[in-house]
Structure formats: structure tokens, C-alpha cells
Structure 1
Amino acid sequence: MRVPLSGLPGRVTIYEVGPRDGLQNEKAVVPVDVKSEFVTRLARAGLRTIETTSFVHPRWVPQLADAEDLLDVLPRSPDLRYPVLVPNERGLERALSNGVTEIAIFGSATESFARRNLNRSVDESIAMFAPVVERAHSEGLWVRAYISMVCGDPWEGDVPIEQVVSVASRLMDLGCSQLSLGDTIGVGTPGHVTALIEALGAAGIGPGRLAVHFHDTYGQALANTLAALRAGVTVVDASAGGIGGCPYAESATGNLPTEDLVWMLHGLGIETGVDLDALVATSRWMARHLGRPSPSRVVQALSAKADGPG
């Protein structure tokens, strides 16, 4: 049953990260044909923005070493967007040579994670991103910035809101079009999320330029998403089946499952363009390839209903 709440958007864009963020931490390499089929099924389910891969050095993320091969075989359509993660100028060159039109850079609100994830300080990472964004703009590319550890950091503890706003402002000043707020270890709560979005707005980064990327480590991802929607955000990152995490932060488990997000949004009368049944079938298919059940509550519930007793 759809029962709308006041103060929420009529439509939300789901930024699907399963093929990249979802699979990047898998120990066994997933074949290109399986990845391509995964993206194809996600697109058939109605997802229009699918982050497919990353042009990081294969030594750091072996799972994504096949980026060029995957992009070569993906289905194409004018309404399908395939952003890729690009860490540096070398990665951008690879992306451009493969016809990529949308990229994302990946910054950190904390020094500890910046060192572990990029082997650089926050200042050094922003200096590294500057020519990437400048060149991307000169080539007509759309650029997103991720900022991780926006609520807490496993090495530094609570992260002050003003610290997040400072780093976020520096990333957006590079010329990025969108900023994705990453609660990488899932410690945020709705009040914190609301205060952060308000502080960013006061600094000139309004909700129309924001996306949210919540992990469900402490069961707060949907509550935090609702808080973000109430604050005016209309782009939400999610991973089909809830797969994935971050290879550089062991406590970064539990990506927000796309199915759980869609169930909530549809229940609120918010349009997504996503066929939930097709999405659940896709995640069940991928779970078989990964050799374990999906952690998504909605996938589990609808699967049990479809399979029947016994």
C-alpha cells in the first residue's frame, strides 16, 4: 500500500553502485560476462544510472582489473548512464580512451582514511583530483565527488560536521556537479544526517547538488535516507542485493540494498522507475553466482513468499 508523507520528493533517482562498490571487495574474481549480465539485468529492472567499474590500478582492486573489457560489452541506450570511478590522471586517460562520459572521484573527510584509501593526505588527494576534474570538464564529462567517513571514522571516531563541510567545499570548488555523502561505516543517525545537510546548505552546497550513500552496519541506512529526503535530497546511492563494502575499512559493511530502498520509496508513493520484482530476481541471480544469499531483507522476504512453504 502506498501512503505518502508530506515534505518528501515525488521522484527519487537511484544511483546504483552494485557492479562497482558491490563487487569490488569480492575475493573471487567475477567473470566479465557475469558482470555484464548483472548490469544488463539492472537496466532491464529500470535503473538508469549504474556505476559500473573503476579505473584504479589492478594491483589495488583486482576485481575491477577488467574495466575496459566490461565497458566494451555493456548494453548501450541514450537514457543509460554508466559512471566510473577515476582516482587520478592515469585513470582518467583510461576512461577517456574507453568513451566514458561520466566519472567520479573519491575523497575522504578524514586524514586516516585518506592515507589508507589513497596513500595521501586530504590536501594531497585534493591536489591530485584538481587536474582530473579540470581535464574532465575540458572533455565535456560530468563529474561526481564522493566524500567518505562523513559521520564517523574507525580510526578517528566521530567526525565533526564542520570538518566534513570544509573538505566537501574544497571538492566542490574543483568544479564537481554532485557530491555523494558517504557514511562509510554506517554510524550516522537521522539527526546527524539532517544537521550535516543543513550545514552544507549554509556553506552553499544545497540538497540539489547532493546524493547520499549510507551503509547499514547499525541498521540506520533507511532511517538516514528518509532524513535526507526530508532535507531535500533526491539522489540516493544503493547496491542491488546489499552486496559490497569498502576494502580499506573493515567496518564498512552493509551497503544499503536497492530493494529495501525501493520498497520504502514505493510505499511512500515516491516514483523510482524501478520494477521491484525484476530487481529482486536480479539479486537472487547474482547471489547464486556469489555463492551466498542476499542480505537484503526485501529480497529475503519476497523470495520466501515466491518460493512458498517448505
Structure 2
Amino acid sequence: HAKQQQAQAQQALLESRLQSLHQHFAKETRECRQQEEMATQQLAQQQAQDQATQQQQHHQQQTQQHRQQHAQLQQAQQQQSTALLNSLAADNLLLARQAEQQQTQQQQTQSQARWFMEYQRGQQQLHDQMEQVRQQQKQELMMQQKSQLSEPSQETASEALSEQGKGQGHHRPSKRHSDANRSFRERPSRSSIKKESHALAKGGKGARRDAKPHAERSGVKEAEAGGQQESDAIELEDMIESMFTKDVYNRHPTVRRERMPFSSSVIVTAHAAAITPAQLLSYGAAMRSHLFVRVSCVPRN
């Protein structure tokens, strides 16, 4: 009976120890679970933090890449705009130069056309005046020939009158007086000379002196008009010589006519009041490039 009690007591002790072990194990199990849960939570938090950090870094990288791409795009657009503006400015400058060249060429062409028209008009007026002078000279020559042809009949009539007047006491005129009368008849009157010179001066006022220098004239035009100009210059010199011989030389010996070293040019220096500057300038305008008339009207003394 005592052994049984002792065995029961030992069994009860073992059961209490087992129960305490169960309680301790359960307690440790709870603590392990709590620690595991805490570790799991910490791990999840760390993973979340790492993921957030990675996402933030990735976002920052993407933002930086976007900024770089935007800056590169802006730089490329600016370079393209600058190149386009430079190209447009160069094109505008080229167009402006071309327009200026075209305007200059058009002005030169118009100036050359105006000069050529003036030259042709002057040549036509010159030819008309020359033809008028030729006709006048022909008429004068015909008048002189008619007067020379009529002189023998007049002389025979005067001789008959002198023969008739011998019985009446009249004397025959001497040869000296007849020659003087003949020279007086052949010399033109001052009124006709003044009318002729006034007509020439009036006819030459319409033509202007060519303002184009000889250096700018075309070689082809000069070669074409060279022969005609030379012949016109010779005829004009003859006209001027005859005109001044008739109108000035015999009455005003102070007028001097000089030949210049270059061809087809005559200088007339008038020291007399018989020739007005307007007349000489009109003659020079009619002669254009062939003759040059310089007027220096000074008192005789």
C-alpha cells in the first residue's frame, strides 16, 4: 500500500512537471510565433522600403533622362531654327543683291536706250540741218550762176548805151568800177546773212548736247557711225567756215578760228558782239559730238 502511494505521488509529480513543461513549451511557442510574426512584419516593411527606394531611384533616373532628352531636343530645335534663319537671311541678301543688280542693269539699259534715242534724234536733226544747208548752198550757187550768166547781157546793154551816148557826151564806165560793182553784187547782204545765221541758230536749239562720255559708247555703234560722223564733221566744218567767212571774218577780224589737235573739232573764240552766246551754243548743240564751240565774249579793248 505504501509503494502504491509512493508511485501515485511520483506519478502526480511527473504529471505536474509535464504540465509545467507543456505550459513552458506553449509559452515559448507563443513567443517564437510572436517573434516570427515580428520578423515577418519587419521583413515585409524592409522589403516595402527597399521597393519604394528602388521605385524612387527609378523615377529619378527616368526624370533625369527625360530632362536630358528635353534639353537635347531644345538644343536641336534651336540649332535648326538658327540654321533656318541664317539660310533665310542669306537668301534674302542674295535676292536683294539680285534685285539691285537687275535694277542697275535696267537703269543702265534705259539710260543706254535714252542715249541712243537722243543720239539718233540728234543725228536726224543734224542730217536735216545739213540737208537744209546744202539746199541753201545750192540755191545760192544757182543764184550766183544766174547772176554770172546775166552779166554778159548787162555788159552788152551797157556798151550799147555807152555807144549811143557818145554823141550826147556820156562817158563809158571804167573796168575798175564794173569789177567793183560785180564783187558788190556777188557778196551777200548783211540782212540775208543775219537771217541765215538766225535760222541756223533757231534750228539747232532743239538738240541737246550729248551728256554721255565717249568712253561709255559701244565699240560696235562707234564703228558703224564712224564713217558717217567723219563725213558729217567735214561738212559741218565747211558750213561753219562758210558761215563765219560770210558773217564775221570780213567785218570782224578779231574773231579767231583754231584747229584742235584731235580730229573733227573746231574752236571758235568770238571777241565781237556780232555773234551772241546763244547762237554759238545752239550751233554747238546742233553739231553734238563733232564740233565743240567755246564762247568767250570780252570787250574789244
TM-score category (smaller protein): under 0.3
What is the TM-score of this pair, normalised by structure 1?
0.21
> Greater share of strand residues, 1 or 2?
1
> Greater share of helix residues, 1 or 2?
2
What is the TM-score of this pair, normalised by structure 2?
0.22
Task: Find the structure with the greater CA-based Rg.
Answer: 2
Q: Which has the higher contact order (CA 8 A, sep 6+)?
A: 1
